[in-house]
Chain A
Amino acid sequence: MNTTLRRALGAAAVTALAVPALAACGGSDEAKETDGGKTVTLVSHESFVVSPDVLKEFTARTGYKVKTLKSGDAGRAVNQAILSKSHPQGDVFFGVDNTLLSRALDNGIFESYEAKGLDGVAKEFRADDAEHRVTPVDSGDICVNYDRAYFTDHKLAPPKTFDDLVKPEYKGLLVTENAATSSPGLAFQFATVAKYGDDGWQDYWKKLKDNGVEVVDGWEQAYNDRFSGSAAGRKAKGDRPLVVSYASSPPAEVQGMKQQPKSADEAPTGVATGTCFRQTEYAGLLKGAKNAKGGKALLDFLLSKRFQEDVPLSMYVKPVVKDAKLPELFTKFGATVDAPETLAPEKIAKNRDQWVKAWSSIVLK
């Protein structure tokens, strides 16, 4: 081998080696950060919010500090956790709901752990009781919300049920989310499947489409841009008085007001209680967690009264633990949904993807 070639190859090799070496330097301080065993890393979606005081209490109780990694909406966060399961990003994952639960369980991202306090959780929220791979944390209903002012002005009764939504007087009023990309959108589609069955839901959506339903990509766009009843939507000159949102949206709307109305009947928005689907969110210990002990402590804490009572005002969902109290805002302005639609987890697991596909081809094409 002549010298020049050797020199050129040498230079090339040095550069080739330098890049990973550089990377290794970057990686090492990261390792220090998590190796201490005093940090628990919680992986979640972007909607995860908790009061700082509550986390401080966890640190005071257990000595662990919580580091939160939030990215994407609920669906994307779950998928990312699945894709990186061989080397998880953290110790605990929070935010997989019953519409996607089977995907997380089938892909085996969770380790079994029975959290302390699970006995206090109502039966209807529990899932995977044989193996305890997930712990229920909160629950909420997805329902159609209406803009009270619009219906008063137009001397029209707001819709109450799914059947109402396809009536001509409500033509062109509803905006919903893409079931393929949005968790409330998917829940609303599931609600119609639960209501009209395997044979009927497609026809229902054809009627809904003929009745001028508008589909947007995400909840933010639907509720804060197109819905005429929310504060943000009014500002954005939203043009749809009906939107698929949460049963807890009216209290959230009231909380943002300078002067609160006296009763729920005077709140700017209301809920069509016959159009609801119940969603429960779960957390679990990630397989391969670096700090499994801390992760278990965190799961216990998620079921503690302190955390459970923080949930309504920070994430606008309801606690699952029986003795956790609801704040006044919820008891006063929240809607009571007596008979939400539900679907068996096994049925969701078996059909979810094909339902979404069928829905897309009916509604989007």
Chain B
Amino acid sequence: MVLDRPEVTEGAEGAAPKGRGPRRTGVRLGLMAVPLAFFGLFFAYPVAAIVTRGLKTDGRWRFGRIGEVLTDPATGHVLWFTTWQAAASTALTLLLALPGAYVMARFDFPGKGLLRAVVTVPFVLPTVVAGSAFLALLGRRGLLDELWGVRLDTSVWAILLAHVFFNYAVVVRTVGGLWAQLDPRQEEAARMLGAGRFAAWRRITLPALAPAVAAAALMVFLFTFTSFGAVQILGGPRYATLEVEIYRQTAEMLDLPTAAVLTLVQFAAVAALLLVHAWTVRRRESTLRLVDARRTARRPRGAAQWGLLAAVLASVAVLILLPLAVLVLRSFDGPDGYGLAFYRALASAGDDGVLGVAPLETIGNSLAYGLAATAIAVVVGGLAAAALTRREGRLVRGFDALLMLPLGTSAVTVGFGFLIALDEPPLDLRTSWILVPLAQALVGVPFVVRTMLPVLRAVDPRLREAAAVLGASPLRVWREVDLPMVGRALAVAAGFAFAVSLGEFGATVFIARPDNPTLPVAVARLLGRPGELNYGQAMALSTILMLVCAAALLVLERVRTDRTGEF
């Protein structure tokens, strides 16, 4: 039976006195102006510039190139690999992370907050760092090679496992967050009425959970479909995703037409994914009756539950802690046995001047860039979320999805786009430091919006209406009603934006000034140089970055609220 889903907010909007509609729309458009200007200038324009440069020669469009590139067997090969590895990575991630989500949602055990933080560390870790951690684990002379002679770096398994490592948190946070808020009494009632354990789960919990699982799966698919750093490091010359191929065609072959067509293909695929995602998000938000997560979790009971908890902890230990531990271990494994040699080396620029600066300085660079990026992301993302709070109109929904687009667009395209588009006065930013925070904010904004939006939408509209009736202006309503309620979410959003800014690599690598590299860029450059000292320094820097991210996430665990979005 298919029925139209009633939308509460639409009803509320309909009941509002006539004449207020256009005014509200006006305010919303006003709020929208900043995010629109931001995305227009720093996303759409650079991307359009680089695509145009590829498809237009001597003032004429060459759309024929699209057909040529699309029918090239090499393109088909890349597309096929990109798709199937993303599908396989997604399936594997769901398989391994769903039990984790259940355990986090339903069980109460000491160290749960720490565990949540630990599984999230990989998600904000730069892919180059994670790639090198996996190399140290699975590669030639890696831990497994030394112990049992097992090498996975030449197989696709290394890529798949790295993708699970990155995206475990997406599933745990998205699905687990919702699962924790589902009222277990509904399932219990079904069991009382005679349903078997599985039947009760299938008929009660699964339907409620399905949209969240779908949303998580789509996000994982999106992230792995556009995977760059991990494939670049672990894939060797043989495996390439669309994103890696765009990078190769642009940076190495200078085949801009091919790169432009591949960018468009990725764009289309990502846009389609995001529209589906927006749809699942909407369903999840509008149809469930949720309870306080703290009331649903309890200590595990019986051998089966303890066993499940143990299994999940073991899989987290192998999949997530082990690669991180290998990274830390290598950072101490100096030329004269274990010690701080690599950390000490970070303080000086070194003889061959790989970086031109002492590696330690890159930490300062990264923190400064990250803070600026966070400020931009919070302002832009906060305004966008405020404008999107009311779920009306197709336009709003479309925009909602649009805001996620930078997450799925080739960072390489954005980076190069910045270089060639933002080079004319009044926007000649090529040599300006602001370029890096701007690019980083592009990936930070979606996180801010996704974190803020559910919280803003959960604010009872009647509170706002009451304030308005009492004469408060929209700005004042926002300040007095919304802001106090979303303060914590804002802190979480800022924290996430900061963490992803710290880790951003794909675009930063092109636009960071050579003498002012960020930490992930420094790690990549050190990894590309010969010698034990450079490798060890890369590991040491990665360890420091990991600790900064972990600390930030632990703080977030303290302030997070139960309805803070999906990350």
Contacts and interface: CB of A to CB of B under 8 A. Distances in A.
Contacts, number: 143
Interface residues of A, number: 61
B251 A8 contact: no
Contact of B30 (A5, A19, A225): A5
Interface in B12-71: 23, 26-27, 30-31, 33-34, 37-38
Given A83-B420, A180-B248, A216-B236, A5 B254 contact: no
A236 B141 contact: yes
A197 interface: no
A19 B383 contact: no
Given A20-B426, A26-B434, A12 B419 contact: no
Interface stretch (A67-75, A144-152, A158-166, A270-278): A67-75
B547 interface: no
Contacts of B30: 5, 8-9, 11-12
B190 to A, nearest CB: 49
Interface stretch (A293-301, A326-334, A356-364): A356-364
Given A12-B33, A353-B255, A4 B474 contact: yes
Contacts of B423: 84, 86-87
Interface in A172-196: 178, 180-181
A224 B251 contact: no
A217 B475 contact: no
A15 interface: yes
Interface string A43-63: 000100100000000000000
Interface string A1-25: 0111101110111011001101110
B27 A8 contact: yes
A173 to B, nearest CB: 16
A12 B383 contact: yes
Contacts of A361: 74
A268 to B, nearest CB: 15
Contacts of A218: 528
A180 B74 CA distance: 14
A15 B475 contact: no
A220 B474 CA distance: 60
Contacts of B31: 8, 12
A16 B528 contact: no
Interface residues of B, number: 59
A4 B530 contact: no
B336 interface: no
A7 B475 contact: yes
A237 B515 CA distance: 34
A255 to B, nearest CB: 13
Interface string B442-478: 0000000000000000000000000000000111000
Contacts of A7: 473, 475
A20 B510 CA distance: 20
Contacts of A83: 254, 416, 419-420
Contacts of B433: 26
Interface string A306-329: 000000000000000000000000
B11 interface: no
A70 B252 contact: no
A76 interface: yes
Interface string B352-396: 111010000000000000000000100100010000000000000
B253 A87 contact: no
Contacts of B253: 180, 353, 356
B514 A69 contact: yes
A178 B237 contact: yes
B531 A22 contact: no
A337 interface: no
Interface string B472-513: 011100000000000000000000000000000000001001
Given A79-B252, A180-B252, A216-B236, A224 B431 contact: no
Interface string B60-103: 00000000000000100100000000000000000000000000
- Top 7 nearest A-B pairs (CB, nearest first) are A8-B30, A224-B530, A23-B434, A12-B33, A26-B432, A178-B237, A27-B432
Interface of B: 23, 26-27, 30-31, 33-34, 37-38, 74, 77, 140-141, 236-238, 248, 250-255, 352-354, 356, 376, 379, 383, 416, 419-420, 423-424, 426-435, 438, 473-475, 510, 513-515, 525, 528-532
20 contacts: A2-B26, A9-B33, A12-B383, A13-B33, A15-B34, A16-B38, A19-B376, A24-B426, A27-B429, A75-B251, A75-B252, A80-B419, A83-B419, A84-B420, A86-B423, A181-B237, A181-B248, A216-B236, A239-B140, A365-B238
Interface of A: 2-5, 7-9, 11-13, 15-16, 19-20, 22-24, 26-27, 30, 46, 49, 69-72, 75-76, 78-80, 82-84, 86-87, 89, 103, 178, 180-181, 215-218, 220, 223-225, 232, 235-237, 239, 353, 356-357, 360-361, 364-365
Given A15-B379, A16-B38, 17 more contacts: A2-B26, A4-B475, A8-B31, A16-B33, A19-B38, A23-B429, A24-B426, A27-B431, A46-B525, A75-B252, A79-B251, A83-B416, A87-B428, A216-B237, A217-B236, A357-B74, A365-B77
